[in-house]
């Protein structure tokens, strides 16, 4: 799958703009940062560092013995328009299928120890 298709699967919604389609800022089908609280019962959730709070522990304290990753699908309320889960937070996704330098090559989607800006569709490294 090309980097553009992966990006579209995460951030695009064909029903936006009266059916013309468009991109959300976050892969949780919204333009505001999701919560990082796994106990939330509704709304978008992602595994990332919200302020000083780690998602998995809901604590400001980092523990080197703690596993900070979550299983795929644990945040079922954060599905993309195409049914994809967990394309924001947890671990970065490597976008390099051609090996060539370019705008869409690199890391996308954020990770468990990154802030909300790392989750945004406009952020890539």
Task: Give the pLDDT of residue 86.
Answer: 86
SS3 letters across 40-71: CCCCCECECCECCECCCCCCCCCCCCCCCCCC
> Could you give the 3-state DSSP secondary structure of residue 10?
helix
Domain segments of the chain as ranges: 1-125
CB 9 within 8 A of CB 42: no
pLDDT lower than 70: segments of the chain: 1-6, 96-105, 125
Task: Give the pLDDT of residue 46.
Answer: 95
Task: Give the pLDDT of residue 103.
Answer: 61
Task: Give the pLDDT of residue 108.
Answer: 82
Task: Give the pLDDT of residue 56.
Answer: 97
């Amino acid at each position: 799958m090309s980097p553009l298709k992966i990006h579209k699967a995460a951030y695009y919604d064909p029903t936006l703009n009266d059916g013309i389609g468009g991109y959300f800022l976050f892969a949780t089908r919204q333009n505001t940062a999701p919560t990082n609280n796994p106990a939330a019962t509704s709304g978008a959730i992602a595994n990332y560092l919200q302020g000083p709070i780690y998602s998995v522990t809901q604590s400001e304290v980092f523990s080197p013995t703690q596993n900070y990753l979550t299983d795929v699908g644990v945040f079922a309320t954060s599905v993309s328009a195409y049914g994809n889960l967990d394309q924001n937070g947890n671990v970065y996704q490597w976008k390099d299928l051609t090996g060539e330098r370019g705008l869409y090559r690199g890391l996308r989607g954020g990770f468990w120890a990154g802030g909300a800006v790392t989750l945004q569709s406009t952020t890539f490294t």
